[in-house]
Structure 1
Amino acid sequence: MPVEERLSYGMQFSVLKKTVIWISIVTVILLNSSIFGVYSYLAEYLKSVSNMSPDTISLTLFIFGGANIIGNIVAGKFLTHSAAKTAVTFPLLLGAVYVILFFTGQFTVPMAIITLVWGILAGGIMANINQYLIASAAPEAPDFANGLFISSCNVGTTLGSVAGGLFISEMGTQYVVLVGILSLILSLFTIILRTYMYRPIKQHAA
Structure 2
Amino acid sequence: MRIVEESQPTSRAPRRRLHRRPIPRQTEMGRRRRTIAMLAMALGAFALGTTEFTSMGLLPLIAADFGVSEDTASTIISAYALGVVVGAPGVAALTAKLPRRRLILILLGLIVVGNLASVAATSYPVLLGARFVAGLPHGAYFSVAMLATASMSPPAQRGRALAFVVTGLTVATIVGVPLAQVLGQNLGWHAAYGVVAVIALVAIGGLWIAMPHMTQMAASSIRQEFSVFSKGQVWLTLLIGVTGFAGMFAVYTYITWIMTKDAGLPEGWMWLILMIFGGGMTAGNWLGGRLADWNVEKGLVLSVAALAVALIAFYFSTAHVIPATVFFTLIGVFGMALQPSLQVRLLDHAGEAQTLAAALNQSALNTANAGGAAVGGLVVGAGLGFGSPALAGAVLSVIAVVLCVVAARLARSSAR
Percent of paired sites with the same residue: 20
**Shift of residue 146, structure 1, vs aligned partner:** 1.2
Partner of 2:404: 191
SS at match of 1:39: helix
**Shift of residue 94, structure 1, vs aligned partner:** 0.8
Counterparts of 2:407 and 2:280, CA distance in 1: 28
**Shift of residue 7, structure 1, vs aligned partner:** 4.0
Partner of 1:115: 328
Does 2:382 match 1:167?
no
Does 2:44 match 1:44?
no
- Residue type of the alignment partner of 1:39: Y
* Aligned counterpart in structure 1 of residue 364 of structure 2, from 143, 149, 152: 152
Say which is worse superposed, 171-180 or 126-135, in terms of deviation. 126-135
Counterparts of 2:265 and 2:353, CA distance in 1: 47
Q: What are the Cα deviations for residues 148-175 of structure 1, in whole angstroms up to 9, with x where unaligned?
A: 2222222221111111111111022121
- Residue type of the alignment partner of 2:276: I
TM-score with structure 1 setting the length: 0.88
SS at match of 2:279: helix
Does 2:246 match 1:33?
yes
Q: What are the Cα deviations for residues 22-44 of structure 1, in whole angstroms up to 9, with x where unaligned?
A: 11121111122121111111111
Partner of 2:130: none
Does 2:334 match 1:135?
no
For residues 52 and 13 of structure 1, do their structure 2 counterparts lie closer, same or farther at Cα, with a shift above 3 Å needed?
Answer: same
SS at match of 2:319: coil
Counterparts of 1:48 and 1:165, CA distance in 2: 16
Partner of 1:66: 279
Residue pair 1:24, 1:137 contacting (<8 A) in 2 also? no
The number of residues matched between the two structures is 202
Counterparts of 1:52 and 1:44, CA distance in 2: 10
Q: What are the Cα deviations for residues 124-151 of structure 1, in whole angstroms up to 9, with x where unaligned?
A: x122233233222214321110122222
- Residue type of the alignment partner of 1:22: W
SS at match of 2:335: helix
Counterparts of 1:78 and 1:192, CA distance in 2: 16
Residue pair 1:28, 1:133 contacting (<8 A) in 2 also? no
Partner of 2:34: none
Residue pair 1:137, 1:198 contacting (<8 A) in 2 also? no
Q: What are the Cα deviations for residues 53-93 of structure 1, in whole angstroms up to 9, with x where unaligned?
A: 22443211110012211112121112101111110111211
For residues 9 and 200 of structure 1, do their structure 2 counterparts lie closer, same or farther at Cα, with a shift above 3 Å needed?
Answer: farther
- Residue type of the alignment partner of 2:388: Y
Counterparts of 2:255 and 2:344, CA distance in 1: 27
Structure 1: segments with no counterpart, 5+ residues: none
Counterparts of 2:377 and 2:294, CA distance in 1: 38
**Shift of residue 8, structure 1, vs aligned partner:** 3.2
Counterparts of 1:191 and 1:21, CA distance in 2: 12
Partner of 2:266: 53
Residue pair 2:263, 2:321 contacting (<8 A) in 1 also? yes
- Residue type of the alignment partner of 1:157: N
Q: What are the Cα deviations for residues 98-117 of structure 1, in whole angstroms up to 9, with x where unaligned?
A: 11111122112211221232
Structure 2: segments with no counterpart, 5+ residues: 1-26, 28-215
* Aligned counterpart in structure 2 of residue 87 of structure 1, from 282, 300, 308: 300
Question: Aligned Cα RMSD in Å?
Answer: 2.2
Counterparts of 2:385 and 2:351, CA distance in 1: 43
Counterparts of 1:88 and 1:153, CA distance in 2: 17
Q: Which has the larger radius of gyration?
A: 2
Counterparts of 1:55 and 1:153, CA distance in 2: 29
SS at match of 1:104: coil
